[in-house]
Amino acid sequence: MRRRTLNAVPPTTSANGKIFRVLGVDPAAAGATGYGIIESDGRRCRMLRFGALRATRKGPEHFPQRLREIHTMLSELIEEFQPHGVAVESVFTALNVKTTLRLAEVRGVVMLAAAQRDIPVCSYSPREVKASVAGYGHADKQQMQLMVRALLNMSETPEPADAADALAVALCHVQAAQFQARLDAGTARPTAPAKARAIHAAAAPSPRTARSRDAVSRISLLR
């Protein structure tokens, strides 16, 4: 296996605990397995490290060793960066059966490395990742690389494409987590305008009560 690390930035330490760090993985059955670590403070995201792990020896007889080395690499990244979540691209159903099974085995290794540290894992389809990052579910690799560069404010376009895909998966997970957090916050407690509307609704008389009061007033006038 040949591991290629393309960039590295020291992680941020935060006293208020608002930093959310994600390890994104783009698994591959035969080619390079991309990885990327990003972190978000709720307003912007930045890249910490990305790269790709490429097989130096081909053939099914070397596949078990490849799985072991992928697991070792991910375990080291998890140990170093302590991510709050791991995001992995799901199996593309249009692949042939043999490739799909091999890809599922690589995904299993990713999930195992995360589970050994009690880190939650989320899967996203290629179309979900493209729609989240590029706004278009059929974006090509070059479009994705340019969008990843822009969203992470990188000085260069991330290469290889496997590493850029891993960063895109991580960005997709950050956006999904932020959306879920806003949804949970809205469900847990109403906002100030919502509270005001609720108080006003409770204090206002119902239409039936208002009609009854009008009727009483008219009767009093007739008397």
pLDDT for 46-84, tens place per residue? 999 999 999 877 888 889 999 999 999 999 999 999 999
Bridge partners of 40, per DSSP, are 20, 45
By percentage, how much of the chain surpasses pLDDT 90? 60
Check 41, 79, 140, 162 and give the catalytic one. 162
pTM of the model: 0.77
89 catalytic, yes or no? yes
26 catalytic, yes or no? yes
214 catalytic, yes or no? no
Mean pLDDT of 130-148: 95
Greater model confidence, 212 or 156: 156
Check 26, 39, 69, 165 and give the catalytic one. 26
Cβ contacts of 185-188, under 8 Å, gap ≥ 24:
none
Is residue 11 within 8 Å of 48, Cβ to Cβ?
yes
SS (H, E, C) 62-124: HHHHHHHHHHHHHHHHHHHHCCCEEEEECCCCCCCHHHHHHHHHHHHHHHHHHHCCCCCEEEE
Check 39, 69, 89, 165 and give the catalytic one. 89
Mean pLDDT of 158-175: 96
Q: Which domains does the chain have, with CATH numbers?
A: 2-188 (3.30.420.10), 194-222 (no CATH)
Predicted confidence (pLDDT) at residue 19 exceeds the cutoff of 90: yes
Angle formed by the axes of helices 97-115 and 63-81, to 10°?
30
Which segment, 45-49, 182-186, 218-222, is predicted with the most confidence on average?
A: 45-49
